Structure 1
Amino acid sequence: MEVRQLRYFVAVAEELHFGRAAERLGIVQPAVSQQIGRLERELGVRLLDRTPRRVALTGDGARLLVEARAALAAVDRVRSVAEDLASGRTGVFRLGTSPGLGERLRRGVGTLRVSSPELGLRLVEGRAADHARAIRRGELDAALVRGEVPGTRSVRLWEEPLRVVLPRAHPAAGGPVAVRELKDLRLRLPADPALEAAVLGRCAEEGLDPERGREVRSVEDTAVEIAAGDRDWTVVYGEQAGLASCGAMLRPFAPPLTVPGLLLLPADGARECADALAAAFS
C-alpha cells in the first residue's frame, strides 16, 4: 500500500467522481482508476461501487475512508515536523495577525495552548497581502486577516462589523448612521484595502462621493481630532470601546456594514489542522 493510493482514494471518496478527483489531484483520470484498483486488490475489498452514471462508497470503503484520512493526517504531520527540523523552526507556530483582533486572538491562542502545550508561538502583525505572500513562501503557518485575498486558500470565520466615528455634536451622532448623512464631513481612512473598499462601496450605493481628508495613521489620535473638531469622520472595526474616552461618538452603520474575517492557510496544509485552527479562532 502506498501513500499516494490513499490520497487518490480519499479524493475519489470525497468527490464521488473520478474526473473531478483527478482534476483535484492534478493528474490524469486513468492513473487514479489504476491506483485505486491496485489498492482494492492489495486489500482484498471493494471500496467503491462504479457504474457509468455514479460512484458510491461501499460499506468497507466508508470504514476505510476514516482510517485513510487519519493516516494521511499523520503523514502530513511527519512531513511538517521534518520540514521544521530542516529549517530550524522546530515547535514554533507562526501566525500572522491584524490590528484589533483582541479577544478573538486571545481566545484562539489559549485554545492552541491547551491542545498543544509544547507548541511555541510567534505572532507577526501585518497586512493581509503581505501575510498571503509569507504563507506562500513558507514563512508563516497561518494568518488571521480581514477582507478577501484572491488566490489564497482561506476559511471564512466571522463578519467584522464596522463603526462610524464622528463628532459628538453632529446631527447623525444620535443613532445608526447612513453615510448620506455625513455629506458635510471629510472622510478619513487608514491604509486598509478591505475597510476602504467596504466604506467606499457603501458610499457609492448611497450616491455619496465623500470629500477625503488625511490618512488615518493612529485610530486613537484621529478620534481625538474628530472629537475636537466638526469636519471629519472615520471608520473602525468592531466596538473599540476605548475610543469613547477620546470624546468622539462611535455609531453603527445603517444598514449594518461588515468585512469578512478569514483564516489564511497554506495550499497544501492538512484538512485536520485547518479544522482545528478554524475551531480555535471562530
Structure 2
Amino acid sequence: MELRQLRYFLTVAEELNFGRAAERLHIMQPGVSQQISRLERELGVRLFHRTTRQVRLTAAGERLLPEARAALDAADRVRRLAGDLATGAEAVGLRIGTSQGLGDRLDRILEATDPPVRLTARPLPDRLAAVRSGELDAAFVRVLSEAPGLDVLPLWSDPLVAALPAAHPLAALPELHPAQLADLPVRLAPAEQNRPLHDLLTAAGIGRLRAVPFTTIQDTLAEVASSAPSWTVLYAAVAGLTPVRRIVFRPLTAPTPTTSLAVRPGPLPPALQHFLTVCRDAGTRASLHPGRTTTST
C-alpha cells in the first residue's frame, strides 16, 4: 500500500467520478483506475461500486475513508516537521489557534508549556478548518461541544458576565437575566464568526439579538462606556482583568460555557498531550482562585 494510492482513493471518494479525480490528480484516468484496483487487492476489500453511470463508496470504503484521510494528514505533518527540522524551525513547537478572552490562564499555560507555542488568532470556523487540515495542532474553542471531524476535549468552565454602562438602571441589579437586556444592542462578533455564543444567548432568553460591531475587548468596553447605551458579554476571567471606567460587570444568568481544545481524532502526540494537561491544570487553579467580576470601575 502506497501513500499515492490512498491519495487517489481519497480523491475518487470526494469526486465520485474517476474522470474528475484524474483531472485533479493531473494523470490519465486509466492510471487512477489501476491504482485503485491495486489498493483493493492489497486491502482485500472493494472500495467502490462502479457502473457506467455511477461511482459510490462501498460500506468498506466508507469505513476506511477517515483512516485514509488521517494517514495522509499524518504523512503531511511528517513532511512539514522534516522541513522545519531541516531549516532549524523546530523550536516553533505547537501551533495553537486562539481567540480573545482566555484571561490570565493563557499566560500560565504558555509559561508552563515546553516546547514553545505559536499562537494564531482566527475566527472560530477558520480555527476548526485549520486543525482539520493539519495547519494547526489544536485550537481553543468556547461553548462548542462537538465539531465534525474533530475531538473536542473540555478544559474548564467560565461563567459569563454582562458589561454595561455604570449609569444604566440595570447596573443597580446584582445579576442580570438575558431577557432584561433584550432592548439594548449587544456588541458581539458577527454570528458567522462565533455562532455557538450567539445561539447560547438566544436560547438563554435574550430573544433576537440586536448585535452591533465588536472590535477588541478594550475598545468595545470603551464604546459601551461612552456611546449610546449598549452592552457586551465577557467571560468572568477576562472581566476581572479588564478595568474600564464607567463600566460595571454583572453576572449573567445563562448557561456556563466550557472552554475546550479541538484536536484531530486519534492518540495525541506527547507534546500536545502535555499541552492538554497544562491547560486543564490552569483551569483547575483558576477555579480555586476566581477573580472578582461584579465591581464597577
Report TM bin, short chain: 0.5 to 0.7
1:278 aligns with 2:276: yes
The equivalent position to 1:156 in structure 2, one of 151, 154, 157, is 154
List runs of 5+ in structure 1 lacking aligned partners.
Answer: 1-22, 28-76, 114-118
| CA gap 1:153/1:231 in 2 versus in 1, 3 angstroms | same
> Are the aligned partners of 1:226 and 1:233 in contact in 2 as well (CA < 8 Å)?
yes
1:85 aligns with 2:85: no
List runs of 5+ in structure 2 lacking aligned partners.
Answer: 1-59, 65-73, 281-297
| CA gap 1:122/1:225 in 2 versus in 1, 3 angstroms | closer
CA deviation map 1:89-118 (0-9, x unaligned):
5343211112121322222222223xxxxx
Counterparts of residues 1-282 of structure 1 (less than 5 Å) = 84-86=81-83, 88=85, 90-92=90-92, 93-113=94-114, 119-148=115-144, 149-151=146-148, 152-173=150-171, 174-191=173-190, 192-203=194-205, 208-210=207-209, 212-229=210-227, 231-239=229-237, 240-254=239-253, 256-270=254-268, 275-282=273-280
Q: Using the TM superposition, give the Cα deviation of residue 230 of structure 1 relative to its aligned residue in structure 2, in angstroms.
A: 5.5
CA deviation map 1:9-48 (0-9, x unaligned):
xxxxxxxxxxxxxx9xx67xxxxxxxxxxxxxxxxxxxxx
Q: Using the TM superposition, give the Cα deviation of residue 213 of structure 1 relative to its aligned residue in structure 2, in angstroms.
A: 4.4
> Are the aligned partners of 2:160 and 2:236 in contact in 1 as well (CA < 8 Å)?
yes
Specify the code of the residue in structure 1 equivalent to 2:90. T
Aligned residue-pair number: 199
For structure 1, which segment, 137-146 or 87-96, has the greater mean C-alpha deviation from structure 2 after superposition?
87-96
CA distance in 2, matches of 1:245, 1:136: 38
Q: Using the TM superposition, give the Cα deviation of residue 272 of structure 1 relative to its aligned residue in structure 2, in angstroms.
A: 5.3
CA distance in 1, matches of 2:261, 2:189: 22
TM-score normalised by structure 1 residue count: 0.60
TM-score normalised by structure 2 residue count: 0.58
| CA gap 1:243/1:91 in 2 versus in 1, 3 angstroms | closer
CA distance in 2, matches of 1:253, 1:146: 16
For residue 245 of structure 1, give the secondary structure of its aligned residue in structure 2: coil
CA distance in 1, matches of 2:216, 2:110: 26
For residue 163 of structure 1, give the secondary structure of its aligned residue in structure 2: strand
Q: Using the TM superposition, give the Cα deviation of residue 177 of structure 1 relative to its aligned residue in structure 2, in angstroms.
A: 0.4
Q: Using the TM superposition, give the Cα deviation of residue 190 of structure 1 relative to its aligned residue in structure 2, in angstroms.
A: 1.9
Kindly report the root-mean-square deviation, in angstroms, between the aligned alpha carbons of the 2 structures. 3.0
CA deviation map 1:58-93 (0-9, x unaligned):
xxxxxxxxxxxxxxxxxxx9x977761145553432
